[in-house]
Structure 1
Amino acid sequence: MWRSAADQRAYDDARRRVRALRGFYMHAMLYVAVNAILIAVNLLTAPPRPWAGAPMAGWGMALAAHGILVWSRVGLLGRRWEERKIAEYMARDQVRTLSTEKQLVEAQMRLLQAQIEPHFLFNTLANVVSLIEPAPRKATLMLEHFIAYLRASLAASRATQGTVAQEATLLRDYLALIKIRMGDRLQYLIDVDPALNPVPLAPMLLQPVVENAIRHGLEPKIEGGRLTVRLARRGHRMLATIEDDGMGFRPSAGAGVGLSNLRDRLAVLYDGEAQVRIEERSPGTAVLIDIPLPRQAGTGDAA
């Protein structure tokens, strides 16, 4: 299970405290068991043998010292205990709140994912119809890509978790459709580190950014341009870069809301550990999304 650095430190500290408590309890149980055996031996034999009294007394004092050390370290004495319990209750409330927010965001995203924009749907079908007579092979190819895109979108709309490979497939089908419509005005490249293919990724996380780049950056440009989507590992993080050499970033209502929703979604999904930034380039714009990798996927050298 993925944890942030702060969560991991808290988890490791709690684990050390639990281990210390477990060690003390095992020590105490062993002491009680040995005492019980010695008492039984003394009761069953005559005359009683007090030879174990001194060692057991010494052991009892050592156990008491062990208990004091453990309980003081764990923090169950005085003000430290109160503060720790208060923090524990507050953390539980925060976890419940975050869980509710995450469920709400996921429900909203599933609703958005299930809705294909009418503008895109109607334009694609109109293009297919217009190509049937003059270019039937091109119309067939466009329809095939459209069906593949719809299938991938439907699967994403029903899933709460996807993978990098699934997102890349969705982007390829989407851009193949746009390529048929724009022709030579659109050139694109999707470059994904193969090691990242099985990495978990929220469904349709990158597709809205790519759509914004096409709609606001490349389509308005008479000669079109080039779009590059690159996903690479950077240590224990993944950097997704969506770059175009189009008209530049002019946040319209749709683009601004889309990026705002992306930031909100990332903040909930990755507990504030993900970052989004926009870089103006000459020409064009790049959107960079920096996401922490799950612990099991974050091992190894940086790419």
Structure 2
Amino acid sequence: MWRSAADQRAYEEARRNVRALRGFYIHLTLYVVVNTILVLWNVFGASHRPWSGAPLLGWGLGLTAHGVLVWSRVGLLGRRWEERKIAEYMAREQVRTISTEKQLVEAQMRLLQAQIEPHFLFNTLANVVSLIEPAPRKATLMLEHFIAYLRASLAASRATQGTVAQEATLLRDYLALIKIRMGERLQYRIDVDPALNEVPLAPMLLQPVVENAIRHGLEPKIEGGHLTVRLTRRGGRMLASIEDDGMGFRPSASAGVGLSNLRDRLAVLYDGEAQVRIEERSPGTAVHIDIPLSAPFRNGETP
């Protein structure tokens, strides 16, 4: 009795393969025996018979076709070869799936950016309008930073790969805008190891984390606070830290979704080798993003 229909089908398929092999070996044996007799007869016979070589060629072609049919069914290189090829094809499919997931995540991020930009756009323009009469120089400065930020974010939203230097420039323009709005309530610093400037980095990877720190940590705090963005190298990895001394980490719908999106994006972009760690402080919060460096930068070289 078979445990399942699949087991029975496997057994029947194996029997068919064995019978096919047996039939081929019988055919091969007959070919060798008969043609050996014909060749010997032709060589040692009283008269030369050219036609005796015809079965050797014609039958040989038939035997070859028979062998191709049998071995293509059974597997010329055996079960281990078959299993290795299956594993190879599965690995290719997995790589294709990961590539598709990466494209999907990037598309989702672009959609998210497109949804965020109008909200940020209207708020910033409203702030500029409110400053035109009482503080025209401040309104002009805000517009300059706003234009620079839009230019950088538009380029980032269209790109699949950026650099640390580009991300740092985008963050400086973004924080300069927020600084005008919050005034002395916001103090910030961006420290980037110069050796990391040309390191590849997914566009707008850190900006949502900085935005979360402002929105949930520093802006609700009456006296504001300090924000530090630091990118350093640790061996073959890069550590990006976003630290604030605001209200601390308070799980909310928007903050939770933002961090979940960040983890998902990192998992796909860096094949599970990147890590995110949230450190609660008194006061404030630190978010640490640990990213593997690509091979040339890991070895201390530049492409």
**Structure-2-length-normalised TM-score:** 0.72
Q: Offset at 1:78?
A: 5.2
Please state whether the residue corresponding to 2:191 is helix, strand or coil: strand
Residue of structure 1 equivalent to 2:253:
253
Q: State the Cα deviation string for residues 165-211 of structure 1 (Å, max 9, x = none).
A: 00000000000000000000000000000111111111100000000
- What corresponds to 1:155 in structure 2? 155
Distance 1:78 1:232 in 2: 52
Instruction: Tell whether the 8 Å contact from 1:278 to 1:287 is kept in structure 2 after alignment.
Output: yes
CA distance in 2, matches of 1:289, 1:105: 18
**C-alpha offsets along residues 270-289 of structure 1, whole Å, 9 cap, x if unaligned?**
00000011000121000010
| 8 Å Cα contact 1:113/1:204 also seen in 2 | no
Q: Which residue of 1 is the match for residue 129 of structure 2?
A: 129
Q: Residue 33 of structure 1 corresponds to which residue in structure 2? A: none
Match of 2:265 in 1: 265
CA distance in 1, matches of 2:260, 2:172: 24
Q: Residue in 2 aligned with 1:203?
A: 203
Quote the Cα distance in structure 2 between the aligned partners of 1:242 and 1:94: 34
In 2: Cα distance, 1:97 partner to 1:84 partner:
20
The structural deviation recorded for 1:86 is: 2.4
- Provide, for residues 111-132 of structure 1, a one-character-per-residue CA deviation record: whole Å limited to 9, x for no partner: 2233444432222111111111
Q: Which amino acid aligns with 1:203?
A: P
After superposition, where does 1:1-303 map in structure 2 within 5 Å? 80-300=80-300
> How far, CA to CA, are the matches of 2:183 and 2:145 in structure 1?
15
| Fraction of identical pairs, as percent | 92
Amino acid at match of 1:228: T
Q: Aligned pair count?
A: 226
**Alpha-carbon distance between aligned partners in 1 of 2:114 and 2:165, rounded to the nearest angstrom:** 20
Distance 2:122 2:89 in 1: 53
Larger radius of gyration: 2
1:157 partner letter: S
CA drift at 1:251: 1.7
Taking the aligned partners of 2:77 and 2:171, their CA distance within structure 1 comes to 57
* Deviation per residue, 1:133-161 (Å, 9 max, x gap): 11111110011001111111111111111
| 1:87 partner amino acid | A
Contact 1:111 1:157 in 2 (8 A): no
Preserved contact between residue 113 and residue 156 of structure 1 (Cα < 8 Å):
no
Q: Structure 1 stretches of 5 or more lacking a match? A: 1-75
Q: Counterparts of 1:294 and 1:276 in 2: how far apart (Å)?
A: 18
Q: Distance in 2 between matches of 1:219 and 1:148?
A: 23
Cα-to-partner distance string for 1:43-99 (whole Å, 9 max, x where unaligned): xxxxxxxxxxxxxxxxxxxxxxxxxxxxxxxxx975543432222121011111111
Letter in 2 for 1:274: A
Secondary structure (helix, strand or coil) at the match of 2:220 reads coil
CA root-mean-square deviation: 1.6
Is the contact made by 1:238 and 1:293 (CA closer than 8 Å) also made in structure 2? yes
| Equivalent-residue separation in structure 1 for 2:214 and 2:120 (angstroms) | 12
SS at match of 2:279: strand
CA distance 1:110–1:118, change in 2 (3 Å): closer
Q: Residues of 2 paired with 1:139 and 1:96: CA distance? A: 49
Which of 106-115 and 86-95 deviates more? 106-115
| In 1: Cα distance, 2:287 partner to 2:215 partner | 14
Bigger relative contact order, structure 1 or 2 (CA pairs below 8 A, ≥6 apart): 1
TM-score, normalization by structure 1: 0.72
Q: Distance in 1 between matches of 2:300 and 2:164?
A: 18
1:241-277 Cα distance to aligned partner (Å, 9 max, x none): 0000000011211110011001101111000000011
